[in-house]
């Protein structure tokens, strides 16, 4: 590989890294990882105790025995056990994450962008009104000048 090819590859890689999408994606991954801890804390500190008021705090312990006898745990377990509690816990974590992202990030951003767009349209409509008004004034001036020329030539 020649030095020129290496330089071209490095420049291409640098251009790839400097694109906004890559940086935005990296930031999103880091924020997402930090956000996961918050959601897990909410589930463990709020949701699980609420569920625990009706049963057990640990959703992973909810299961059904498909083929008995279901005894023991881990490798010593017998029977076929369906662990629907862990699926329920993961589903709740997903729904909480989706709700928080939507209500705290997506919805406010959509409202902000709508306000910005409304302001932009209002400015454009104001500009159009000013342009139309100026055009009308110029037409009136032209018509007045034409009328003055017409009456001035007729009197001579």
Tell the residue number behind the tokens 């049963």, with chain if given.
55
Which tokens is 8 given?
Answer: 């071209």
Using alpha carbons, select from 67, 91, 87, 89 the residue that is nearest to residue 77.
Answer: 67
Average pLDDT of every residue of the chain = 79
Specify the pTM.
Answer: 0.50
Tens-place pLDDT, residues 3-24: 777 788 888 888 877 776 777 7
Across the range 102-119, mean pLDDT stands at 89
Q: Give dist(CA 115, CA 121) in Å, integer.
A: 10
Question: How many residues are given for the chain?
Answer: 156
> What SS3 class is residue 88?
helix
pLDDT band of residue 146 (cuts 50, 70, 90) is very high
Return left, alpha or beta for 9; rule: phi > 0 is left, psi -120 to 50 is alpha, else beta.
alpha
**68-95: pLDDT as tens digits:** 777 766 666 677 778 888 888 888 878 8
């Amino acid at each position: 590989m020649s030095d020129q090819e290496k330089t071209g590859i490095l420049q291409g890689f640098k251009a790839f890294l400097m694109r906004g999408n890559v940086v935005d994606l990296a930031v999103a991954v880091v924020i997402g990882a930090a956000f996961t801890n918050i959601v897990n804390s909410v589930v463990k500190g709020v949701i699980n105790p609420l569920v625990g008021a009706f049963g057990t705090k640990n959703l992973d312990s909810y299961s059904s025995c498909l083929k008995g006898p279901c005894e023991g745990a881990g490798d010593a377990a017998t029977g076929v056990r369906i662990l629907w509690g862990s699926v329920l816990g993961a589903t709740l974590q997903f729904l909480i994450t989706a709700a928080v992202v939507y209500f705290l990030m997506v919805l406010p951003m959509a409202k902000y962008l709508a306000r910005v767009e409304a302001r932009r349209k209002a400015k454009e409509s104001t500009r159009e009104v000013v342009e139309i008004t100026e055009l009308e004034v110029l037409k009136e001036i032209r018509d007045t000048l034409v009328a003055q020329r017409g009456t001035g030539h007729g009197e001579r």
